[in-house]
Amino acid sequence: MKITVNGEAKQYEQAVVTVADLLVLEQVASPEMVSVQQNGDFVATEQFETTLIHDGDEIDFLFFMGGGSIPDFSNI
Amino acid sequence: MDLTEQQIERYSRHILLQQVGYEGQLKIAQGKVLIIGAGGLGAPAALYLAAAGVGTIGIIDADVVDITNLQRQVIHHTPDIGVPKVTSAANKIAEINPDVRVIQYHSWFNPDNALQIISDYDFIIDGTDNFPTKFLINDACVMVGKAFSHGGILRFEGQTFTHIPGTACYRCIFPKVPPKNLVPTCSQAGVLGSIAGMLGTIQATEALKYILGIGDLLTNKLLVFNALNMQFRTVPVKKNDNCPVCGTNPSITELVMEEQAVCELKTK
Amino acid sequence: MIHTIDITKEHCPMTFVKTKIKLAQIAQGDLLEVTLKAGEPLENVPRSAAEQGFIVLETKQLHDDVYQVTIQK
Ligand SMILES: [Zn+2]
């Protein structure tokens, strides 16, 4: 199956069936830290397991990115 | 309002630009930008906005300068260690450009002061380093219809987008604060200092474009870059009808500070 | 209406900066007569004005190395 992942054309030997499968293949360690777009539309986290991926799909993984330092919330 | 001879010389490189010119420089001089967090992203943004002659720059940060900040927070210098970040930043801005009026808020940006503070500004720069505040900035700006620039950096990567009313917001992309245990810990995090400069200056550029009304803003797209291979990518993102704050049926109607991991290594 | 500006004492890029500011202050369709020196100013000011959408109508020598360029907004 051919899929474009983050702008890069990729070919998979394995059967990629769902968004969750692709996350495993792409070694995304924490699916909760990623937002997934399939052909420009967001896939809700709860639907990763049930959303099917099709040949030719464009998938984007968008990751949470905070900052380089760590906040101190003790005085909020 | 007119520019003095000195100001004409100071801003000559702006005035020369067809898209800026004398009128544009006057717009910049009347512009009001709020920088939330005088850290890695806020520091370069503040330096360039001050140099550009933005009339009013608000800076909110409750922290004091720490030696670990100096690797990337370039508005703070070694003698500033222990000084409130807002004071340190205001001092540098005054040195760069005495035309700029700096408004200091030595506190955290929180649900109680958020709407009041942002209402005084044209454009808001998210220079914070934590998710709860990023979501709070987003929600507050969406609720009152303010333009803002989101920025995030981690290790060698950065991401940013600009929101103006009616375009995709942070929650359209990331509906909720990531779970506590998954946020990288202090030891895992780390960032190449110059990445902060790359991103903060993009945010400052968006603020200037917004004030000037020129070009195309980073709206409905997320710019992501990886400095290791120096690849930049713009991912189109759509306003999400199911967005909890800007969607058709929003579940978030008042400001709250959501929970997130507190770093155990931080010592005060 | 015709306006004038003397930039013979200015150096690049203030030559065009001053010209641009004057152009910003006059009405659409008005003329600006720019007095400038030969060399860099005479080469660059009319060219920059044209690039930024103004109309360069005429260039004439006043005396020695002093010229006058007429620009329409
Ligand atoms: Zn939204």
Domain spans of chain A? 2-63
Q: How many domains are contained in chain C?
A: 1
Domain that holds residue C38: 2-72
Which residue has tokens 């997320």? B222
Per DSSP, the three-state class of B89 is helix
- CB proximity C14 to B under 8 Å: yes
Does residue C11 or residue B179 have the better pLDDT?
A: C11
User: What per-residue confidence (pLDDT) applies to B9?
Assistant: 96
Contact B163, B142 (CB under 8 A): yes
Q: Would the ipTM clear 0.90, i.e. be above it?
A: no
AA letter at B110 = N
CATH number for B31-236 (one of 2.40.50.1020, 3.40.50.300, 3.30.413.10, 3.40.50.720): it is 3.40.50.720
pLDDT at B200 over 90: yes
Residue C44, domain CATH: 3.30.110.40
Each residue's pLDDT tens digit, C14-29? 999 999 999 999 999 9
Q: What are the boundaries of each domain within chain B?
A: 31-236
- Written out in words, the top-level CATH class of the domain with range A2-63 is alpha beta
Q: Which of A69, A72, A76 to probe the B interface (max B CBs under 10 A)?
A: A69
Contacts of B263 in chain A (CB under 8 A): 70-72
Residue B110 half-sphere exposure toward CB, CA atoms < 13 A: 10
User: What per-residue confidence (pLDDT) applies to B258?
Assistant: 84
Q: How many whole angstroms from B206 Cα to the centroid of ligand 1?
A: 19
Each residue's pLDDT tens digit, B225-239? 999 999 999 999 999
How far out from the chain centre does Cα C58 lie?
10
